[in-house]
Structure 1
Amino acid sequence: MPRTQPLIEARQLGVRLGGETIIRNVNLSVFDGQIVTLIGPNGAGKSTLIKTLLGVHRVSEGQLTLAPSLTIGYMPQRISIDDSLPLSVYRLMTLTHRAARTAVIDALRLTDVPHLIDRPVQQLSGGEFQRVMLARALLKQPDVLVLDEPVQGVDFNGEVELYRLIQRIRDERGCAILMVSHDLHLVMAATDEVVCLNGHVCCTGAPETITRQPEFTQLFGHKHADALAFYSHHHDHNHSLAEQGGHLHD
């Protein structure tokens, strides 16, 4: 039975690092089966918020509440692997979480790449690597998936497929998903709630409503707001490469 209380809840959350306030007055709730996407400009504090939810950074003010026995699977924004280091997909999957080979195969099957289990990581394409990292986050069978720029380093067609995969995982497993993204044109079709962050929460709401909020327009401009408002109502068909949207880089 789905939980009626949030899995993650932040109230007036603030974080200071090195004597500087990075985020303040952040209110955020993530429920079972919900996809929540954090957007915002460079330096908005998105990764800081994610790392605070994961316990990497300490809460400086406000309150952060996690559901009892909550399990979080985390897919980081970047991971650097030395080209000279012999590392298979199986070894990467189990570096920080011990698991049987059968469990690793099951996780890789969720992202459609079980055949890559013995492939050297250095030989993976960008899309394959992101699918492996997503499977790695799923290995713990999490209640919440936290994805920091999950389509980074992937071409446009790969981005579309990865967002569809993320939706499918949510639908099949019922887990909540909190992700950071700047691919606004695509994320409007792959999320339930958008949270716009710029040191604080500027605006929040469903994709079809957030683009009409003045705070969104002020932050991203009329051009993006108009394009995204159109896209959010016309995302149920395939797009050609000529129709692909731009990115707001983090």
Structure 2
Amino acid sequence: MTEALVTLDDVSVTLGGQSIVDHVQLTVSRGDIITVIGPNGAGKTTLIKAILGLQSISSGRIRRTPGLRLGYVPQHIHFQPTLPLTVKRFMALTGASPANCRAALERTAVNHLYESSIHHLSGGETQRVLIARALVRQPDLLVLDEPAQGVDVNGQAELYELIRELRDSLDCGVIMISHDLHLVMAATDKVLCLNQHVCCSGYPEQISHDPAFVELFGRHVADSVAIYHHHHNHDHNLHGDVVDNAQTETCHHHASH
């Protein structure tokens, strides 16, 4: 049986008298990649912060496996432009050894940026450094809030592929928030559609046909997502390119990237 890392039992969060998260049931197990989707103001970030223990809950219960190690990539992180900060120094702020910092950067393919200024990185490079920072503690659960924000479409596909590879190599669980429904549907294992409460949840191919999903995002979006989603029967490299494999069949994408 797969190990449950975090379980939310009927969790609600009320702030200033307003219901932000309403009676959510959720289990994140080792090996899962669960993506939380929903409109702005749906409570997605609040839910993530509750899982991390950064947001107190109003009712319900959150159970975390004993000794659970968490890695967190926040949605926004502001680097003071007048403060010199290299990737090396930024990673050192975690308290991890230089060797562990370099190993984490190697995992996300940005070790060559070790001496670079954090201010001069591209959007994709910055996100890879932030993910590396979350990896230094060898997390059991990797939590990402909009990990592909500010990254171009090709870079987004590469980041989601990286997340899958990290899930496999670390044997961890992953829960993330994303707005890019097309790419996420191809990259995730399970989807949780949130609008304060759980509108629907399940596998991507199921979610795209769920009436609650269609009502929330519209028929056009639902149809395009259903067409786009596919099962990977080939491998990709870090650049998102298909790697030749004599034993794999061709995978036909029915929608453009």
Q: Is the TM value for this pair above 0.5?
A: yes
Deviation, 1:86, is: 0.5
Residue pair 2:92, 2:98 contacting (<8 A) in 1 also:
no
Runs of 4+ in 1 over 6 A off after TM superposition: none
1:26 aligns with 2:24: yes
Q: Output the amino acid matched with 2:8.
A: A
- 1:150 is matched with 147
Task: Give me the whole-angstrom Cα distance separating, in 2, the residues matched to 1:234 and 1:168.
Answer: 16
| Alignment counterpart, residue 125 of structure 1, candidates 119, 122, 125 | 122
SS at match of 1:189: helix
Q: Deviations over 1:120-170 (max 9, x none)?
A: 101111110000000001111000000000001111110111111111111
Q: Output the amino acid matched with 1:157.
A: N
- 2:167 is matched with 170
Q: Output the amino acid matched with 1:21.
A: S
Task: Give me the whole-angstrom Cα distance separating, in 1, the residues matched to 2:54 and 2:30.
Answer: 23
Residue pair 2:14, 2:21 contacting (<8 A) in 1 also:
yes
- 2:34 is matched with 36
Deviation, 1:218, is: 0.6
Task: Give me the whole-angstrom Cα distance separating, in 2, the residues matched to 1:16 and 1:139.
Answer: 33
Aligned length: 240
Instruction: Calculate the aligned-residue CA RMSD, in Å.
Output: 1.7
Q: Output the amino acid matched with 1:227.
A: S
Matched-pair identity in %:
52
Q: Output the amino acid matched with 2:256.
A: E
Task: Give me the whole-angstrom Cα distance separating, in 1, the residues matched to 2:145 and 2:205.
Answer: 23
Which ranges in structure 2 are unaligned for 5 or more consecutive residues?
A: 234-250
| Alignment counterpart, residue 189 of structure 2, candidates 186, 189, 192 | 192
TM-score by length of 2: 0.90
Task: Give me the whole-angstrom Cα distance separating, in 1, the residues matched to 2:209 and 2:87.
Answer: 44
- 1:139 is matched with 136
Q: Output the amino acid matched with 1:183.
A: D
SS at match of 2:218: helix
SS at match of 2:183: helix
- 1:231 is matched with 228
Deviation, 1:73, is: 0.2
Aligned 1:3-82 pairs, distance under 5 A: 4-82=2-80
Which ranges in structure 1 are unaligned for 5 or more consecutive residues?
A: 245-250
- 2:112 is matched with 115
SS at match of 1:147: strand
CA distance 1:98–1:234, change in 2 (3 Å): closer
- 2:240 is matched with none
Deviation, 1:238, is: 8.3
Task: Give me the whole-angstrom Cα distance separating, in 1, the residues matched to 2:200 and 2:156.
Answer: 25
SS at match of 2:187: coil
SS at match of 1:21: strand
- 2:256 is matched with 243
Residue pair 2:138, 2:170 contacting (<8 A) in 1 also:
no
Deviation, 1:92, is: 1.2
